Structure 1
Amino acid sequence: MDKELKYGLGNYQQTRRIVLAVLVVVLFAALLFGQSTFPPDTAMHETIEMFGVLLIFLGIIGRLWSTLYIGGRKSSEVVTGGPYSITRNPLYVFSTLAAAGVGAQIGSFSGIILFAVLCAGAFHIVILREEKFLKETLGAPYQAYLARVPRFFPKLSLYQEGDTGSFKPRLLLTTLLDGLVFLMALPAFELIDGAQQSGMLPVWFTLP
């Protein structure tokens, strides 16, 4: 067993949390000096922001839904029900959705795309490492799952309810707390808007 397998799936899940936190912090820091081409308080700016709020809540709810099914079983069995019947990585899909919602808080379409693409790209690296581990650990059943269900983009026609397994409140709480990282963007970007309008923060670039 190589070094990656020795550390196990928990190591990759910790990496996922770190990647998510670092991405949000770095992108947030970069956007301190960026502004949408749609001025604050305009209809388009507000509409994009509200769409982003919807994406954030959909992402958080989707992550909770996914946790109900995976429930700490990812490294011990092939979970194929619920969100895992339409994509192999629903936690990453919903995290990317929420990250896009964070990007929308700048009031820019480009912010949505930028956050989503960077988040999905970073998660792709983690996904490949997880897949290597799970192929070694779960064998043929997981190989069949790989062949049937897409890695990232959901295929809704494959949906099956499946079994949620045993309920683990602690895991749901952890997932919910992770989701608070996304919600923190809402007041943070309001503060940035205010600071930019007052001249406290310079605007170095604009995004459409």
Structure 2
Amino acid sequence: MKSVADSLMFKYRGFVGVICLLPVGIAVIFSTPFIAKNAYIYFIADILGWLCFGLYVTFRIWATLYVGGRKDKELQTQGPYSITRNPLYFGTFCFALSVSFFLESISLVAATVITMIIYFRWVVAVEECVLLKTFGSAYSNYRKNTPRFIPRFSQYCAAGFVQVNLGALKTETKRLWFAATLPVIAERIMYLRAASWWPHWFTLH
């Protein structure tokens, strides 16, 4: 039976984000900063950036504990999967938003939202078709009762314990260590963008 990992859209899903976000990100780096360094809104953007980054770490680790290494082997409906069908994608979306806020870019926030819409139209939809074929009515009922993306915390439920795949957790932890460098890099980029000698080729908000 075809698994989620066999889907071409799943295999190359990372390229979707790169194609959509990289050009906008480069344009933002070489554009004039939209927010003055001492502006009140700068601190709000910074707080939102760290809040989104915290959600990213929480949901990625939390979801990996429940589903890591066994996505096609069992239907997971507990923990983060009880409040959203796609906690891993929700975490990734929060990460992209955090970078957008750290770079103080409305354009990058908009590009992130558009990218997520594309993901749900062409990537997540394919995954759900595979899961429906794999788990049948169990997944159909789960899909009816659980939000596709935005968490509904009021319906959280979880068992007293969970079996953890340490290999999957190790892989995810490596990704998080890499991601942890990006807020620092974004801060350095903002410092460079504010310099008079830095090339400001574009005007993006």
Q: TM-score, normalised by structure 2?
A: 0.84
Question: Aligned with 1:198: secondary structure?
Answer: coil
Q: Which of 117, 121, 135 in structure 2 is aligned with 1:121? A: 117
Deviation at 1:144, TM superposition (A): 1.2
Deviation at 1:103, TM superposition (A): 0.4
Please list the CA deviations of residues 5-34 of structure 1 after superposition, one character each: whole Å capped at 9, or x if unmatched.
Answer: 3xx222455434444455554442231123
1:194 is the counterpart of 2:188: no
- Corresponding position of 2:204: 206
Deviation at 1:87, TM superposition (A): 0.8
1: distance between equivalents of 2:167 and 2:18?
Answer: 20
Partner AA of 1:156 in structure 2: F
Question: Aligned with 1:34: secondary structure?
Answer: coil
Contact 1:56–1:98 (CA<8 Å) still a contact in 2?
Answer: yes
Contact 2:107–2:204 (CA<8 Å) still a contact in 1?
Answer: no
Contact 1:102–1:115 (CA<8 Å) still a contact in 2?
Answer: no
Please list the CA deviations of residues 56-109 of structure 1 after superposition, one character each: whole Å capped at 9, or x if unmatched.
Answer: 12211211001111122221121110110111101111111111111001224x
Contact 1:102–1:182 (CA<8 Å) still a contact in 2?
Answer: no
- Corresponding position of 1:61: 58
1: distance between equivalents of 2:164 and 2:44?
Answer: 37
Unaligned stretches of 5+ residues in structure 2 = none
Q: TM-score, normalised by structure 1?
A: 0.83
Please list the CA deviations of residues 118-167 of structure 1 after superposition, one character each: whole Å capped at 9, or x if unmatched.
Answer: 34223212110101111111112111111111211222222111366421
Partner AA of 1:201 in structure 2: P
Contact 1:70–1:79 (CA<8 Å) still a contact in 2?
Answer: yes
2: distance between equivalents of 1:63 and 1:20?
Answer: 17
Unaligned stretches of 5+ residues in structure 1 = none
Question: Aligned with 1:78: secondary structure?
Answer: coil
Question: Aligned with 2:204: secondary structure?
Answer: strand
Q: Which of 69, 85, 88 in structure 1 is aligned with 2:85? A: 88
1:9 is the counterpart of 2:4: yes
Deviation at 1:192, TM superposition (A): 2.4
Question: Aligned with 1:205: secondary structure?
Answer: coil
- Corresponding position of 1:172: 169
Partner AA of 2:113 in structure 1: V
Contact 2:4–2:72 (CA<8 Å) still a contact in 1?
Answer: yes
Identity over aligned pairs, percent: 26
Contact 1:71–1:166 (CA<8 Å) still a contact in 2?
Answer: no
Question: Aligned with 2:198: secondary structure?
Answer: coil
Change (3 A) 1:155 1:73: same
Change (3 A) 1:156 1:77: same
